A and B are shown apart, each in its own frame.
Chain A
């Protein structure tokens, strides 16, 4: 086993009856890395995290976290990890501070320096003023910040964050990422997070695994994955968008072609040269837009659909916290 691996996963699978929620994934994460599992809702991200944190038993395969096997030595794994769940798991009836006190006891944070450590974490996430209020009275963003403070309180070697910013406003989202980055830098923590926000993966992850229907379809550094596409994204608005898309698919320089709501999206190699050629072959184009390719096009390349298309999340958190989000 490579000593520098924080996580190594071998053919890990979880089946719920006939549903293969996670369908044999193999993956490794380096120590100190900030790693994203990117995929649409229902892709198997949360199930994967649940297995890595010992909340679900794998159907097949194995996983090693911080040097310990998740099935054989679950307690040792748990001692080394912090988990921030997608749905809030802080205790409503306790105050923010009491939640952290309880966590410190559960995770053997040494009594010496415990109080100072809790003070530090509370101030890190900006909850010092509200630390003695019951969590019931917290806003969604405050709860999430408290969860993050709790997740890192015991100096975990590996921090798992399941959709850490889903349902939060952009400002809070930005703050939370600042905390996570700061903490990862200060303590050398490996961070594994799941997200269905492309920008979040592109912006914050050093490496990303794209997951769809329980399978990993691509792994790499975000900019490398995008560069591999070898072109820019071109968006064309056209009445007969289906016909346009069909024509573009046949063009040798086009990849990751998708079509939705009268808009065709495609990655065009050497667009300065090929775009005029393409436009000459098409008719009925109303508007045209060129922008750098993103992980969305990477996703389309492998799955034939955009990552947002089936992203209608039915999660508790989102319904509770942000009913008008999407």
Chain B
């Protein structure tokens, strides 16, 4: 039986095998990420609890005395918090690579005969799936509390989440691939995650802002994600759907290119 599959059965390297191998590789890594995510309960729970804290503690507290654009503050901030969930989930996901590297799980993937761009793509799809599961749970909670009005709004928000997640996961993977040790974690929190969240319009309308904030808000890709979310859930958009999607897709392509190159350079 084993003899029968010996030397003669070795995979021949042909263009077709490499092509098939590319997508098998993407698929293998994608599935692995989903399984790992589902089995790490802590990750799933914390991914949903933090946004809920924002909505009910900050949104509830501040909302008691603040209204924005004629609606309750919680209502206003919900799309922003949903975007935040995608941002945080994605960046954390990207930074998990550090642990994979520390614990050597990544070596198996790095010596595999698949191009690093396939590894990147598999990781990207995995991260997008994780982020989508998280934001979907959050949106369903939103349905229960009346922040999401009906099925069309829900489905549109999930669809937009795919685009936002692609962008944010690519960014997370760039960071993860270039970070040398978990000690940089706090720096990423302080200099990437919090500024991106706070200066995205998630917590306040992006109108009449002081110019120094306005500039940062405009170059922050999450701003356009929040704008899309608000379009899906509240029906209002500052920049317009096509503009938002255009910016996000463009930034995603740039990030994915840089990320793929970063994976290429990755050594143990």
Residues of A within 8 A of B (CB): 50, 53-57, 75-76, 78-79, 81, 83, 85, 87-94, 98, 101-103, 105-110, 113, 116-117, 120, 134, 150, 154-155, 157, 186-188
Contact yes or no, B40 A93, CB < 8 A:
yes
Q: Return the CB mask of B3-36 against A: 1 if under 8 Å, else 0.
A: 1011101110100011011001101110110011
Closest Cβ–Cβ distance, residue B10 to chain A (whole Å): 5
Neighbouring B residues of A108 by C-beta, 8 Å: 11, 17, 20-21, 24, 113
Grouping DSSP codes into helix (H, G, I), strand (E, B) and loop, the B interface class, with mixed when no group exceeds half, is helix
Contact of A155 among B5, B25, B107 (CB under 8 A): B5
Contact yes or no, A98 B5, CB < 8 A:
no
Q: In this complex, what residue of A is CB-closest to B115?
A: A75
Residues of B within 8 A of A (CB): 1-3, 5-7, 9-11, 13, 17-18, 20-21, 24-25, 27-29, 31-32, 35-36, 39-40, 103-115, 267-268
Contact yes or no, A91 B111, CB < 8 A:
no
Closest Cβ–Cβ distance, residue B36 to chain A (whole Å): 5
Neighbouring B residues of A103 by C-beta, 8 Å: 108, 112
Neighbouring B residues of A109 by C-beta, 8 Å: 11
Closest Cβ–Cβ distance, residue A74 to chain B (whole Å): 9
Contact yes or no, B25 A89, CB < 8 A:
no
Q: In this complex, what residue of B is CB-closest to A108?
A: B21
* Assembled-state Cα–Cα distance A75/B112 (Å): 8
Neighbouring B residues of A87 by C-beta, 8 Å: 104
Given A55-B267, A93-B39, A186-B2, are A106 and B105 neighbors across the interface (CB < 8 Å)?
Answer: no
The 3 closest A-B pairs by CB, nearest first: A105-B28, A78-B113, A79-B113
Most buried by A among B21, B111, B112: B111
* Assembled-state Cα–Cα distance A94/B109 (Å): 14
Given A55-B111, A56-B267, are A102 and B32 neighbors across the interface (CB < 8 Å)?
Answer: yes
15 A-B pairs (CB sep. < 8 Å): A53-B111, A55-B111, A56-B268, A79-B13, A89-B105, A89-B107, A102-B29, A102-B32, A105-B27, A106-B28, A106-B108, A116-B1, A155-B5, A155-B10, A186-B3
